[in-house]
Amino acid sequence: MDKFSRNQRVAAITKILIENPNKIINLNNFTDMFNAAKSTISEDLVVVKDILMKLSMGRIETISGAAGGVKYVCGLSYEKSKEFAEKLCIILKNRERIIPGNFLYMTDLMFNPQVIHTAGIILAASFIDKNVDYVVTVETKGIPLAYEVAKMLGVQLVVVRRETKVTEGSTLSINYVSGSSGRIQNMSLSKKAMNKGSKCVFVDDFMKAGGTALGIIDLLKEFDSELLGIGVLIDNVENPKKLIHHYVSIVDFKGIDENGEALLFPSKMFK
């Protein structure tokens, strides 16, 4: 049987915990893997726990009982989160990002794994105590961010579609009114996608008036499910008639001024 040093066990345990956020891992997995006593593994876990806390890199929680074990819970310090939001503002202020119609091109950020990984940790950390069953998003641009949040919360991602697809089986569709354009839009979700009576958070790239979020609340009602939180990367705070008031965002967008400069600030999370 292979022998492992404490250093080696600590490295491997760290990797396994980090790769399974918010999933309880029974200590027997580690005692079997390393042919080590539970007390030895517990000491290894103290090392991991202490250093994550010391460096504000998330935390290790111990869950007692028969189904117990340890789990990694993601987190980022206030300072590092704020620094991330500030960096994002600088990147977004690049004048080449302004496109006809006074939109801000941000697709590259929504599909940049390093940006989305950090944003996902910040949003997930704000939902961690809600014990949700699903993270819900609407296609397309918010999918990687919602995926990261779902991964960090250890739950399934659900993607609401704009149109029904033959590969989805029976679907539930609703109409909703876009808060910014006032147009009626459609969203649909496979009946197989979600269990009845579920608790959800909604994650998206950008919040305008919040019509889409209201639509999600309606859609979830059809699944006897409820929305416990909303998180977006960028909040268009320029919009005066918000339909939704409780949500978290990372960056505030206040439109583009007369000099053609995009007004961007870390969100109220960092005030």
Q: Using CB under 8 A, list all residues that contact a second copy.
A: 2, 4-12, 14-15, 18-20, 23, 33, 47-48, 50-52, 54-55, 57, 99-101, 103, 105-108, 111-114, 116-117, 139-141, 143-144, 147, 150-151, 154-159, 161, 166-169, 190, 192-193
Per the omega criterion (within 30 degrees of 0), is the bond before 140 cis?
A: yes
Nearest approach in angstroms of CB 226 to a second copy is: 20
Q: Which is nearer to a second copy, 55 or 268 (CB)?
A: 55
Nearest approach in angstroms of CB 39 to a second copy is: 16
Distance, in Å, from the CA atom of 123 to the CA atom of 151, rounded to the nearest integer, reads 12
Q: Which is nearer to a second copy, 139 or 226 (CB)?
A: 139
Nearest approach in angstroms of CB 31 to a second copy is: 15
Q: Which is nearer to a second copy, 13 or 248 (CB)?
A: 13
Token readout for 13 is 């345990």
Nearest approach in angstroms of CB 124 to a second copy is: 11
Q: Which is nearer to a second copy, 103 or 246 (CB)?
A: 103
Distance, in Å, from the CA atom of 129 to the CA atom of 157, rounded to the nearest integer, reads 18
Angle at 147 between CA 103 and CA 11, to 5 degrees: 125
Nearest approach in angstroms of CB 205 to a second copy is: 9
Token readout for 68 is 């117990």
Q: Which is nearer to a second copy, 192 or 246 (CB)?
A: 192
6: closest CA among 35, 40, 56?
40
Nearest approach in angstroms of CB 59 to a second copy is: 12
Q: Which is nearer to a second copy, 115 or 213 (CB)?
A: 115
